[in-house]
Amino acid sequence: MLLLGLVAAAAAQDGWSMFRGSTFRDGNTREVGPSGNGTLWRFLLRDRSFAPPSVHPDGSIVYVGGKQGLYGVSRDGGFVFRVPVNEGVINSSPAVCAEREIVVFGGGDGVVYGVDARSGAVRWRVATGKPRKGSRSAPYVYSSPVLDGDVAYVGASDGLLYALDVDPAVADGARVRWTFDAVEPLWSSPALSADRALVYVGGCDNELHAVHAANGTAAWAYETGGFPDDADDPDVDSSPAVSRSDGTVYVGSFDNRLHALDGRTGFVKWTYATSDDVVSSPAVAADGSLVYVTSLDGFVHAVDAPSGRAVWKVDLGAPVYSEPALDGAGALLVGADDGRLHALDAASGAHRWAHTIGDAVRGEPAIFGGRAYVATLNDDAFLHCVGAPEPRAPTAAPAPAPTAAASGASPLSDKAWKVLAVSSVVGFGLLVLAGSLAIAVPRCLRARERRDGRALLAQHLVDDDQFADVNFIELRGREGAGPLTSI
C-alpha cells in the first residue's frame, strides 16, 4: 500500500495535457482554475466542436478537435495551426507528449494521428478497422488516447484497444505494439493503474476490461447492469477513473450507477445509484476520500469513497454529460445542458459561480494557469477561455522635469528659446498627422475586411463557410477580449 501511494504521488502532475488531466483519468490537477467567471477570449472554430481541449504542459498552446479537424490555439487566443482530417469530425480529446513534442488523437475517419505539437505537421498515422456494431460502416475513433512515455493506448470502433509507439522515428509497421480484442466498439477512453501495469477501458459489450500493459492480454473483466429497461443493449461509455490513493477504479454505466472496483482483481467494493445514465467519467479527490460523478438526472453527486454513501448532491436543473474537473483550490468545475459552466465547492457542493456560455456544455473543462478552456460539444462554434481578467502592471508616473535652478543649468538664451518654439510647432504638426493616420488606417482596414467577407478573430483571418455571409470583428479592451460583434 505504501509503495502504491508513493508511485501515485510521483505520478501526480500539474497541467491538463490529456483527457481528464492525467493517466489516472481522475479529473484532478494541482493547477488552480479560474477565480472568476469572465470571458478572456473566444476562438472561432470553423464549425462546432466535438472533443474536450487539452493544453501543452508549458501552457503555450491549447488543442481542440472539431468538425473541421484539430486546432492549435495560442494562450492569448491566436491561431497556431489546423490539421484537416478526412470525414472531419474529431471526438477524441488530444494527448500531448512534451518529450517528443507530439500530439496524439483519433479521427472520425478511423485513423489515429501523431502530429507535431508546434506546427501540426502529421508525423504518423495508424488506420483502425471497420466497426463491429452499429449502423456506421466506416471506421471511427471516439476514444481519447492516454500516454505513458512513448506508448499511447486508445480504443476504436473495431473493438480493439491499441498500444502504439509515439516515437516518430519508429517504422510504421512496428508502431502497433499490441492490440486487445474487446469484441465490440470501445468508445470509452483508457486509464492506467498507478504502477502502469494495467490498462482499464469500458466497452459497448457492457464490460470494463483490465488489460496487461506489457502484452495486451486480459487481466479481468467486470460486467455492469446495462440499461435498466433493456439489458440486451448495454454500454460502458464512461471512462474509468483511478484513485491515486489506493488504486480503486471508478466507472459509470448506462445502468444508472457508479461502480467502485478493486483495481487488481475487479472485485466490486460498492455501487452507487443515480436516477439516470452515467455517461461521463468520475473525478476523484487526490487523497481518495471523495468521488464526484454527474448523471443525466441533472445532479452532481459527491460520494464517500470508502463506503459508497452520498455526501452531497446538487441539482443543476438540466442533464449533465460533462465530466467534472477538480482544481487545486478545491473548486469542482462542471458544465451542464443549461448552457453554463458551474464552479462548485468540492467539500460542500455550494455554488461559487456560474459562467453562461449559451449552449449545452457537454465536454470537460481543461484547467491550466488560472483559466478553464471549454468547448461545448454542441452547436456553439467557439473555444472559450474562462477566467478572471489578468491584472495589468501599474504604470509609473513620469518624474517631474528638473528646473534650471534645481539642475544647476543656466537660463535658456533667446536663440535657444526660438529653436525650442520651432521644434514645438513641427512636433505638433507631426502629432496631428499621426492622429489622422490612426483614424484613417483602421477605417481602411475595416473596409477591406468587409470587401474580403472574412472574420477578423483572435488576431488572424479565417475563411469560414458557416459565417460567409457575416463579417465579425473581435474587440479587445483593457480587460481582455470584448464581445464578438458583427460589423
Which tens digits make up the pLDDT trace of 348-403?
999 999 999 888 888 899 999 999 999 876 677 889 999 987 666 555 555 555 44
* The pLDDT of residue 326 is above 80: yes
Domains of the chain, each with CATH number or no CATH: 2-386 (2.130.10.10), 414-486 (no CATH)
Residue with cell 494541482: 30
Strand order in the sheet with 191-192: 191-192, 198-202, 207-212, 218-223
C-alpha cell at 52: 474536450
Element (H, E) at 113: strand 111-116
Higher pLDDT among residues 424 and 75, named by residue: 75
User: With the C-alpha atoms ordered 423, 428, 429, 430, is the resulting torsion angle positive or negative?
Assistant: positive
Distance CA 51, CA 126 (A): 20
Distance (Å) of CA 2 to CA 76, 146, 194, 199, 245? 42, 25, 12, 21, 10
- Sheet containing 299-304: give its strands across: 283-284, 290-294, 299-304, 310-315
pLDDT at 316: 95
At 419, the pLDDT band (50, 70, 90 cuts) reads very low
- What does R_g of the chain's alpha carbons equal in angstroms? 27
For 444, the grid coordinates are: 481602411
Q: Which of 115-124, 207-216, 291-300, 478-487 has the lowest mean pLDDT?
A: 478-487
Instruction: Give CA 25 to chain center in angstroms.
Output: 13
Residue (of 474, 485, 477, 487) closest to 42 by Cα position? 474
* Helix (H) / strand (E) containing 455: strand 455-457
Q: How far apart are CA 423 and CA 437, in angstroms?
A: 21
Average pLDDT over residues 11-15: 62
pLDDT digits (tens, 9 = 90+) for 330-340: 999 999 999 99
Average of per-residue pLDDT across 273-297? 93
What pLDDT score was predicted for residue 77?
96
Rounded to whole angstroms, the Cα distance separating 46 from 323 reads 25
pTM for this predicted structure: 0.80
Higher pLDDT, 69 or 464: 69
* 3-class secondary-structure state, position 262: coil
Lowest-confidence pick of 235-239, 292-296, 461-465: 461-465
Pairing of strands 290-294, 299-304: antiparallel
CA distances from 227 to 135, 204, 230, 346, 438 (A): 20, 12, 5, 30, 64
Mention every residue, 6+ apart, whose C-beta is less than 8 A from residue 202.
186, 187, 188, 208, 209, 235, 236, 237, 238, 239, 240, 251, 253
H or E element: which one contains 269?
Answer: strand 268-273
State what percent of residues in the chain have pLDDT above 70: 74
Report how far residue 230's alpha carbon sits from residue 255's, in angstroms, rounded to the nearest whole number.
10
